[in-house]
Chains A and B, each alone.
Chain A
C-alpha cells in the first residue's frame, strides 16, 4: 500500500509541476505601453457645454466614469443610492449622444442582489465603477464590492458586455490579494500594453494606503500587479498617463499628511517594469480624487480639487482644469470649473444653500427649469446639509478624450448628480490665450 502511495505521490508531483510550468511559460508579456493619442482638430470653433448625465432625483450619485462607444457615443457609469455605502446603491449608466447633445435615461447595470447571486457570496455594498474596452472590443466594467466592513474591505468585481453596454454578463470576482482578498478599489482609467493586455489602476486602503496597477490578459485573467507606492506614502487612486511606449507618469491622490498635501507622482521609463519613488507635484490635493490625460504634444491636462480642506468643506468645493507642459512641475489654470469658496466665509443654512444650488443647477444644465430646478437643489441639499450646516462638493472627476479629439469630463455635483462637461482643444487654446 505504502509503495503504491509513494508511486502515486511521485506521479502527482510530475503532473502538477508540468501543469504549473506550462502556465508559467505561457505568462510572457511585453513591457511597453500602447499609445492612444487622438487627433487635434484644426479650425474648430471653441466648445464648452455642460449638462447632467444622471437624472434620478432625491438620491445620491458619486464616482462617475466614462467609456467611448464604437459609434462615437459615450457611456457613463456611477453609483447611486440613498447614501454612499447603503445597501440600495446600484451601478447606473446612461449614454450620451454627441449628435443629439443629449443623455439617455438611466439604466441599472448592477445591483447588490444580482452581484451576490452571481458571485455566490454575501455582498453588503457597491462602490466605484470604471469601464475599459478589451482588445477584442468587449467592454469590461470593474466595480467595487464590499462584504464586510468599510471601503478598506473592498474587492473588485467585473462584468462584461459585447453589445456596448446594453446587456451585461454575470458578475465575476477578481482575486487581487492573498489576505482574504480585501482592500482593492478602482477609480482610474484603464490603459493598454502593446501586447493587448490591459492595465487597471487600483489602490489599497487596509492598514497602509497605496496605489497599484493590475494587469489582465485578453481573457480578463489577472496576470500581474505592480506596486506604485507603499508604507506611509498614502498615494491613492492612481491615474496613468502614457506618454510613449516606454514612458508613463502616475498621478495619485494624497490621502495623508506626507508630501505637503500635494499630488503624488511616480514615473517609469521602461514600460512599467520599474517605477520611481513617489514625489510631490506643486498642486494642492485635499485628499480628493484627480483625473488627467496626456495630450499628443505631451502636455498634461488635469482636473483637480486644488484648495485646502476647511470645516465642513473638505476642499472639494472648488474644481479646476489645469495644464502642465513640463511633466507636472508647473501648472497653469485653464478654467475654474466650480468655485464655492465664498460659501466658506459664513455658515450656510438650508435656505441660503437651496438658493445657491438652484442657480448652480440652472447654470449646469439649461434643460433643468421650472419645478425641476427646486427638485435638483433639494436633492443636493439632502446630501450636503448635515448637523445644521451645508457645504458644496464637486469631486471624483473622470476625464477622457474621444476619437474625435473632443474632451468629456464627468464629476460628482453636490453628491446629488453627475455633471458632464464637453469641451474641445479650440476652447482650451482660447482659455490659455486669456
Chain B
C-alpha cells in the first residue's frame, strides 16, 4: 500500500516536471490553450508506470532527487499559476531579499551536514524551541512588512512539518532543499550581474 507521505513526495516531483515542461513549451512558443493542455498531459504521463521498470517516470526522478521542500513546491506552483492563469501572486516579492533568506541558511547548513565539523545544524530541525522561535520572529517581521511570500514559505513549511506531510521528520527538509538553494544562488548572481551592468551603463552615460 502506498503511504500518504509517498504520495505527497511523489506529487512534489510531478509539480517540478510539469513546471519544467511548461517553461519548455513556452520557449517553443506553444499558444496558451495548448500550453495548459500539454502541461497537464506531461503531469499525467509521468505518473503512469512504464512497461519495463514498473515504476512511473516521476519515481525514477524521485529516487535521484528526493522530495522537494515546501518552499520549492510553493515557488513551482506560483510559477505554474503565473503562466497558465496569468495570475501573478507575489511576483514582485521574488527579489534579492527573498533569495538571500534562502541562500544564507543553505550556505551554512549544507557544508556542516556534510561533516566538515562537529556542529550539525540539522539537529535543530527535529524540534528545537529556539529554532522554532527564530523562525516565528522572521515570519512575524515578514508579516509586519507584508512580505507574504516569506510568510507563506515558512508558515506552510512549519505547518506541513507539524502534521507530518512529508516522510521527513525534520523541519529543514520542509524549509529547504538543494535545488531551491542553487536556484536562489543563481537568481542572486543574475541580479548582481544585472545591477553591475546597469551601474556601468549609468556610469558611462
Contact = CB atoms under 8 A, between A and B. Distances in A.
Contact of B63 (A123, A206, A208): A123
A353 interface: no
A305 B3 CA distance: 42
Contact of A17 (B59, B114, B155, B168): B155
A222 interface: yes
The number of chain B residues touching the other chain, given as a range, is 35 or more
A45 interface: no
B163 A19 contact: yes
Given A13-B140, A230-B117, A175 B156 contact: no
Interface in A196-245: 204, 206-210, 221-227, 230-231
Contacts of B27: none
B126 A16 contact: no
The number of chain A residues touching the other chain, given as a range, is 35 or more
A106 B60 CA distance: 31
B127 A27 contact: yes
Interface of B is mostly: helix
Interface in A10-27: 10, 12-13, 15-17, 19-24, 26-27
A19 B120 contact: no
B24 interface: no
B116 A120 contact: no
Nearest to A123: B63
A226 B172 CA distance: 16
B116 A230 contact: yes
B115 to A, nearest CB: 4
A19 B115 contact: no
A230 B120 CA distance: 10
Contacts of A15: 159
Interface in B146-203: 146, 148, 151-152, 154-156, 158-159, 161-163, 166-173, 176-178
Contacts of A206: 114
Contacts of B159: 12, 15-16, 19-20
Contacts of A180: 65-66, 177-178
Interface stretch (A111-119, A361-369, A376-384): A111-119
Nearest to A14: B155
A113 B53 CA distance: 9
Contacts of A118: 2
Contacts of B173: 175, 178, 181
Contact of A222 (B3, B126, B148, B152): B126
A344 interface: no
Contacts of A172: 3, 167
Contacts of B146: 6
Interface in A36-68: none
Contacts of A170: 1, 3
A121 B126 CA distance: 24
B144 to A, nearest CB: 10
6 contacts: A6-B146, A19-B159, A20-B159, A23-B161, A122-B55, A175-B169
The 5 A-B residue pairs with the shortest CB-CB distance in the complex, in nearest-first order:
A19-B162, A122-B63, A147-B63, A208-B115, A175-B168
